[in-house]
Structure 1
Amino acid sequence: MVTTFRRHTLAGQMLVLQLAIVVVVLLAVAGFSLAQSEATFQRVEGRKVDALAEQLGANPLVRSQLVRPAPEEALAPLVHSTLAQSGVTSVTVADTQGRIVSSTNPTVVGERLNLGAGVARGRSWSGDLTLDGSRELVAQVPVLSAARQTLGRQLGTVMIGEASPTVWQRLSGASSYLLAYLGIASGLGVMGSWLLARRVKRQTYGLEPREIAGLAEHREAMLYGIAEGVVALDPQLRLTLVNDVGRRLLDLPEDCVGQSIDDLGFEGRLRDVLVGARHGEADRHDQVVIRRGRLLVMNRMTVMKDGRLLGSVTTLRDRTELAELEREIGSFRSSSELLRAQAHEFANQLHTISGLIQIGEQDEVVRYIRALNQRRQSLDVTLARRVRDTAIAALLMAKSSLAAERKVSLRISAGTALGRLAPEDAADLATVIGNLVDNAVDAAASDDDTGDAWVEVELRQDASSVEVVVRDSGPGLPPEVAREVFAHGFTTKAAQEGERGIGLALTKLVCERHSGEISVANTADGAMFTAHMPLGHPADVAPEGVPG
């Protein structure tokens, strides 16, 4: 037979805890009442027994009888009358040797009186004594002679005692309504405990402590076991949660939880993505943000519960290395696109030649082929003379064919002069030129209705850097996009259509890695992108007219 133990619910545990607190408070109140009652009894009854003892010790009858033999018969009426009139518990008279000669308790007559400190030397004393099995508050006063011959000599001792009340007597005497107060306090405590337990139950969504602990364990395992960064904000934009990956990607301090994003220095595009729907924006996915040399892709989701805003959760992925791979793959893609565009171009030219031959226009065929050859030689000569780096020249040749396929003319500026570069610098420069040209061609082709679309590329090099200027005949950029296009990580097309892209973000990242910069401005014809990239390696051959 298996015995199962039913665990207490959270509400039950809270109720028991609150009841225990109420009991402790009640005991404390009772203890305080007892202490207060004891202090009052000591103060009030102490003064009473002191006064009565002084009065009885100064009585002439007591003085006269203590010097005579057998004073018990004469003092007994005085002792009992004092007891009856004052309402004290005991009255006792002892001689100079401390032997009791008269008392309201006849059984103690003849016994020795337990004297307090200093009483035998003529001093008064008050305190607690146990008499006949009961505890009393007593005052002992010496009886001094008033006769001229024996003035001041101690004749005996007078003791007045008041029985100390029991604990129950003190509680009942503290207040006639103490029990009622305690009952009311107990009822209110029980009611408050029950309401508190219900409130805690609602706030924990009906979960029991073991379930909450399980959720916390699962959350920790999930947050710190995934490869993505996780950042959570409350409605006041305070950081409520961040895992190790998120802290590393955003370069956050160890004590960042609890601080607002403004205190942490979040601004620009990063802040806009994190606050998202707070400013009326819908949650958007795969937002590209550049943060201290990292290319981050962020997804934000607003957290709601029963129509109440609880905050937001944003996940982060580091795409810096992936962007580097995309850049390398892009060179192969450009080659394949070039081959495809050239094949398409050659197919069109062959179809034209075939048609001319079929209609018998042999002379026109010769002129057509000569014109094609001259145009090709003109572009080859221009690139060979102005761009000495073969990788960059090949890239521009490919982009020219691709632009022509979209009816966009790619021009090389007369001011272009570029020498051979180190392979590492050439690869980074190709990334910058390729992304800028692609965006420019997209912008020019989308805005052209006349067939006069163009893109112009100008490359300028000095001993330590290269400057890339790309102009287009497109519509330009809206002022608000022009200010933030690189921070937002948009391509030109994405800026116009609201799609995401990492072309310009990657371009900015490459320039910043070389300690360079990139900017955009609108001109009379369209947009102009200018990228300045210092070279990390010396060039092998300088272009004509440019220092090596």
Structure 2
Amino acid sequence: MIDQKFEDTGDKALALANAVAGMPEIIQAMGEPDPSSVIQPLAERLRVKSKAEFIVVTNMSLIRFSHPNPSNIGKPLDGEDAQNDQKVLNGEEIRSIAIGSLGHTVRGKTPIYGADHRQIGLVSVGFLVQNIWNQMYTLLLKIVLIGAAALIFGLGGAYLLSGHIKKQIFNMEPHEIAFKTQEQAAILDSIHEGIIAVNSEGKITTCNREAKKIMGIEGVEVNGREINSILPTSRLLDVLKEGVIHKDIPMLIGDTLIITNRVPVYAMEQIIGAVATFRDKLQLDQIDQRLADIGQYADSLRSQRHEFMNRLHLISGLIEMKEYEMVRELIEEVNEEQRNLLNFFLTRIHDSAIVGVLIGKLHRAKELGIALVIDADSSLPDPCPHREIIVTILGNAIENSLEAISGTNMTTPSAITVGFHDESDRLHISVHDTGPGIDPSLGAAIFEDGVTTKGAGRGFGLALLTRLVTNIGGDLSMECSPSGTMLKTSLPK
């Protein structure tokens, strides 16, 4: 702004010099015997009106015909700007800053041409630099005052705004917000449930690692994208619109069946977003199955305890009756039974987890009056492949057979036969019972989620087995006949 002010003053000085040089009175007076008598009064009037420091008119010899100090009229220019004066005498227009008899000035100089277009002199107009600075000081003072007022107003506004913002962020400092953000991200990525959150516009604001894993988009940045472009079946937009909570809803994501919960997020009684949490139903079914197996093991132990308590009571009674030979025979019978069972398992089935399941089921079947037989030709490789899956298969299949047989009034002897057949590249498992069988109308649908004849909340065991076996490249099938039902499983080794 200062540079512009000096440049404008120089332009003003030069424009005024051009105006004076072009005045007919000045040109005509330059040829008269006493030019200053005409030029001096005229130049002074213009100087006063324009607030210039000086307007000096000279001839080609640089003799002054006008000057603010009349005593300098008739005297030559004092040579303080001689170089520029010579350029003007050569026909150039000059703007300069120089120190003269009147002080430090911004000058504009231009030649004067006569009627015959010959140069007959020059005009020099100057404005004091000090006057320019005085004008700038006034302007700068205004700027400083306005700036100070704006600063004070801005500080007051910033104080009020910061207080308002801190209320919204619960008076937390930036480092506390950063810590909370990192903590939340760590928590979201450490839990085993998928979580997706959207804002009121349906754009994703949060999507944790487990959610990306289930959706098959690991490593993809989804924040800020429309939920329908990532998961069209999420129904989070319906939750945003209706504000209704969805609990334990099954949903299919790709080839994965999940159980999801969807809830709206409220702030100031307005829906500002929605959150969906979901988990692979296969994992939930595995947890349910393990819990069920634990319950079955407890029942088996209880049954075994009752059986041995009964035998102890029998032995106690025989001892009271002094029937020592019968006591000996009974103990040998029990011992032989246990020895034969353990010898079979140790030689044919080496895995302790599978042996534990079978022993538990043997006692449970005995309590129910059902014969559970392990095929004498059965064998399992050591170590046993897919142990967890085999345990789940045996627990589910044998329990289904026990329920099917115990829930009927069959007069014929009932039995369950379990077989293991080890081949070079496959392991075959079969569970055959002499129960009433399964309704043929169900067909292959018996392996689907929720399909059952046992009532609501059942029908997930076979569906779970199907997914477990299929995921490792195995086969699962069921054969029904008047003589019972057989579940066959073939697993790759």
TM-score interval, smaller chain: 0.5 to 0.7
Q: Which residue of 2 aligns with 1:229?
A: 191
> For 1:6-21, what aligned pairs fall within 5 Å after superposition?
none
SS at match of 1:213: helix
Match among 165, 169, 191 for residue 204 of structure 1: 169
Paired residue type of 1:535: P
2:206 corresponds in structure 1 to 240
Is 1:425 aligned to 2:385, yes or no?
A: yes
CA distance in 1: counterparts of 2:150 and 2:118, whole angstroms:
60
User: Quick check: 1:64 aligned with 2:31?
Assistant: yes
1:54 to 21, 31, 35: 21
Consecutive unaligned residues in structure 2, runs of 5 or more? 315-336
The answer as to whether partners of 1:256 and 1:264 remain within 8 angstroms in 2 is no
Match of 2:469 in 1: 511
Equivalent residue for 1:79? 43
Correspondence for 1:90 among 54, 79, 97 = 54
Residues 436 and 470 of structure 1 are in contact (CA less than 8 Å); yes or no, is this contact kept in structure 2?
no
Mapped contact 2:54–2:125 kept (Cα < 8 A): yes
Q: What letter corresponds to residue 433 of structure 1 in structure 2?
A: I
Contact 1:432–1:507 (Cα < 8 Å) also in 2: yes
Which residue in 2 is equivalent to 1:133? Answer: 103
Q: 2:31 aligns to what SS in structure 1?
A: helix
CA positional deviation for 1:204: 1.2
- Give the counterpart letter for 2:198 in structure 1: P
Render the CA deviation track for 1:273-292: whole Å, top value 9, x for unaligned: 9x9998623589xx9x9999
How big is each residue's C-alpha offset from its partner over 1:249-291, in whole Å with a ceiling of 9 and x where there is no partner?
99875564726696997799xx899x9998623589xx9x999
The answer to whether structure 1 residue 534 and structure 2 residue 491 are counterparts is yes
Displacement of 1:422 in angstroms is: 1.4
1:454-533 equivalence runs, <5 A:
464-465=425-426, 466=428, 483-484=448-449, 496=457, 507=465, 511=469, 514-516=472-474, 532-533=489-490
Label 1:394 to 1:509 Cα distance change in 2 as closer, same or farther (>3 A). same
**Alignment of structure 1 residues 400-415 onto 2, 5 Å:** 401-403=363-365, 405=367
| Aligned residue number for residue 159 of structure 1 | 124
Alpha-carbon deviation of 1:61?
3.4
Q: Counterpart of 1:435?
A: 395
**How much has 1:91 moved relative to structure 2?**
1.1
User: Do the aligned partners of residues 155 and 227 (structure 1) sit closer, same or farther apart at CA in structure 2, a change above 3 Å counting?
Assistant: closer
Secondary structure of 1:158's match? strand
Unmatched runs of 5 consecutive residues or more in structure 1: 1-30, 353-375, 537-548
Percent identity, aligned pairs only, is 17
1:302–1:311 contact (8 Å) kept in structure 2:
yes
| Distance change (3 Å), C-alpha of 1:451 and 1:397 | farther
Give the Cα separation in 2 of the matches to 1:77 and 1:91. Answer: 11
Correspondence 1:26-37 to 2 at 5 A: none
Flag the 1:93–1:343 CA change in 2: closer, same or farther, 3 A: closer
Q: Deviations over 1:91-146 (max 9, x none)?
A: 1113334454431244765423623683131123345556533543x432212354
Q: Is the 8 A contact 2:9 2:127 kept in 1?
A: no
Question: Is the partner of 2:246 in helix, strand or coil?
Answer: coil
> Over the residues paired in the alignment, what is the CA RMSD in angstroms?
6.9
Match among 87, 91, 115 for residue 118 of structure 1: 87
Q: How many residues align?
A: 428
What letter corresponds to residue 144 of structure 1 in structure 2? Y
1:17 equivalent in structure 2: none
Give the deviation of 1:167 after TM superposition.
6.1
User: Shift in Å at residue 213 of structure 1?
Assistant: 1.5
Matched ranges for 1:184-333 at <5 A: 189=154, 192-193=157-158, 195-207=160-172, 209=173, 212-214=174-176, 216-217=178-179, 220=182, 228-229=190-191, 233-236=196-199, 238=204, 240=206, 242=208, 253=218, 256=221, 258=223, 280-282=245-247
Matched-pair contact (CA < 8 Å) for 1:53–1:158 = yes
Kept in 2, the 8 Å contact 1:455–1:473? The answer is no
Contact between 2:419 and 2:431, CA under 8 Å: does it hold in 1?
yes
Q: Does structure 2 retain, via aligned residues, the 8 Å contact 1:96–1:156?
A: yes
Question: C-alpha offsets along residues 408-440 of structure 1, whole Å, 9 cap, x if unaligned?
Answer: 88799xxx9985331313845631422322562
1:48 offset after TM fit, Å? 4.2
Kindly provide the CA deviation profile for residues 132-185 of structure 1, in whole angstroms up to 9, marking residues without a partner as x. 33543x432212354xxxx555332112345676467469799xx999998997
Cα distance, 1:426–1:339 mapped onto 2, change above 3 Å: farther
Alignment partners' CA distance in 1, 2:43 and 2:146: 42
- Structure 2 distance, partners of 1:117, 1:520, is 119
Asked whether the equivalents of residues 303 and 309 of structure 1 are also in contact (C-alpha less than 8 Å), the reply is yes
The more displaced of 245-254 and 105-114 is: 245-254
Q: Which amino acid aligns with 1:514?
A: I
Give the equivalent residue in structure 2 for 1:143.
112
- 1:496 Cα deviation (Å)? 0.9
Q: Which has the higher contact order (CA 8 A, sep 6+)?
A: 1
2: CA distance, partners of 1:450 / 1:515:
39
Identify if the C-alpha distance between structure 1 residues 79 and 261 changes in structure 2 by more than 3 Å, giving closer, same or farther.
closer
SS of match in other structure, 1:425: coil
SS in 2 for 1:64: coil
Superposition deviation, residue 198 in structure 1 = 3.7
Q: CA 1:442/1:418 → structure 2, altered by over 3 Å: closer, same or farther?
A: same
The 8 Å contact of residues 276 and 282 in structure 1, kept in 2 or not, is answered as no
Equivalent-residue separation in structure 2 for 1:441 and 1:191 (angstroms): 80
What residue identity is the alignment partner of 2:380?
L
> Is the partner of 1:102 in helix, strand or coil?
coil
CA contact (8 A) 2:13 2:126 kept: no
Match of 2:170, SS?
A: coil
CA contact (8 A) 2:112 2:122 kept: yes
